[in-house]
Amino acid sequence: MKRFLILLTFLSYQLKAQDLNLKGFSPNYYQTGSIAGNLGYNLNVSSVSSLSETVDNKEFPSGQLHFVAQLMLIQKLNKHFTAGLGYGYGSHNIFGLKETENRYIGQASYLHSLGKFSVNHRLRYEYRTPTNLKTNITDDASILRYQTYFTLPLYNPKETKKGFYLSASNEAFLYLKGATNGPVSSKNGVYEMSNVSEDWAHLACGYNMGGKARVELGYCFQALIRNKQYDIRYLNLAQLNVYVNLNWENLQSWWYL
């Protein structure tokens, strides 16, 4: 009976939910390079901007929703495993509610082959301290992120390092603790025991320029439970990814950093 009441409550929320289905553009820049031996760095700058939409006679204006810059130190443990530590800064504007946040990051990744696919598994922990710029209140959040990333070269890597490839990924966010001072890094999971409030997926086609750079153009989709009423924000993004590699000996060691 209790489970039935929980399900009924969830369905009633869904009937009243105001889901947002937005379109936009997301450019991303990644730079990797070696420091000494198997120690390297990864610089990532990303942005998400939306187009103007009207939902239930309410206008959601176009503009930049998210900007994140982060720098990480990456240690290559062997040809399969890497570990990293880093810092990130985020600036967010959720339809007029502005927040900034610091991110302290630790991650581990495992790279392997599956037939013709290269597969990377990345587990990342983030400790975030978002500040609501309207109330000037700072809170904290702890988040686990698990990403699986597939790449399929459309060329023979044994013969050349240049050519087209396909890529796809999915990343789920598990909120251990959510911030309570605004929509950024808040925990709004449907089931309290799961705490899953956010998911990102992407499909892309790219061109590898020989290990020094590659460019991708594709589609990125985000589903985010944005409040306690289980209203969902969907982002449908045209995504441009630019990767630059500086002085890293093994292509596979920087591919997924």
Q: Write the CA distances from 257 to 70, 108, 218, integer angstroms.
A: 12, 10, 19
DSSP labels for 72-85?
A: EEEEE-SSSEEEEE
- The closest alpha carbon to 187, from 130, 234, 136, 239, belongs to 130
Q: Does residue 141 sit within a domain?
A: yes
Q: What percent of the chain has pLDDT over 70?
A: 84
Q: Does residue 12 sit within a domain?
A: no
pTM equals 0.85
Q: Are 71 and 85 in contact (CB under 8 A)?
A: no
pLDDT band per the 50, 70, 90 thresholds, residue 252: very low
Q: Does residue 9 sit within a domain?
A: no
Domain range for residue 180?
Answer: 19-254
User: Phi-psi region for residue 116, left (φ > 0), alpha (ψ -120 to 50) or beta?
Assistant: alpha
Q: Does residue 10 sit within a domain?
A: no
CATH number of the domain within which 54 lies:
2.40.128
The single residue listed with the structure tokens 């309207």 is: 134
Find the distance separating the first CA and the last CA of the chain, reported in whole Å.
47
Residues in the chain: 257
The whole-number pLDDT of residue 79 equals: 86
What is the pLDDT averaged over residues 123-145? Answer: 95
Q: Is 253 exposed, middle or buried (0-12, 13-18, 19+ CB in 10 A)?
A: buried
Q: What is the pLDDT of residues 156-201, one digit of tens each?
A: 988 888 999 999 999 999 888 888 888 788 876 654 545 677 889 9
The whole-number pLDDT of residue 194 equals: 56
Number of separate domains in the chain = 1
User: Phi-psi region for residue 105, left (φ > 0), alpha (ψ -120 to 50) or beta?
Assistant: beta
Q: Does residue 3 sit within a domain?
A: no
- Cα 84-86-88 angle, rounded to 5 deg: 140
Tokens of 27: 């450019």
Q: Determine how β-strand 58-60 pairs with β-strand 20-36.
A: unpaired
Q: Does residue 1 sit within a domain?
A: no
Q: Determine how β-strand 232-246 pairs with β-strand 20-36.
A: parallel
The DSSP output letter for 161 is S
Q: Does residue 11 sit within a domain?
A: no
Tokens of 89: 């800064």
Q: Does residue 5 sit within a domain?
A: no
The whole-number pLDDT of residue 20 equals: 80
Q: Work out the widest C-alpha separation in the chain, in whole angstroms.
A: 63
CA distance 144 to 119: 20
* pLDDT surpasses 50 at 88: yes
The whole-number pLDDT of residue 183 equals: 77
Q: Coil, strand, or helix at residue 6?
A: helix
- The closest alpha carbon to 151, from 198, 76, 216, belongs to 216
* pLDDT surpasses 50 at 231: yes
Cβ–Cβ contacts within 10 Å for residue 11, how many?
A: 9
* pLDDT surpasses 50 at 5: no
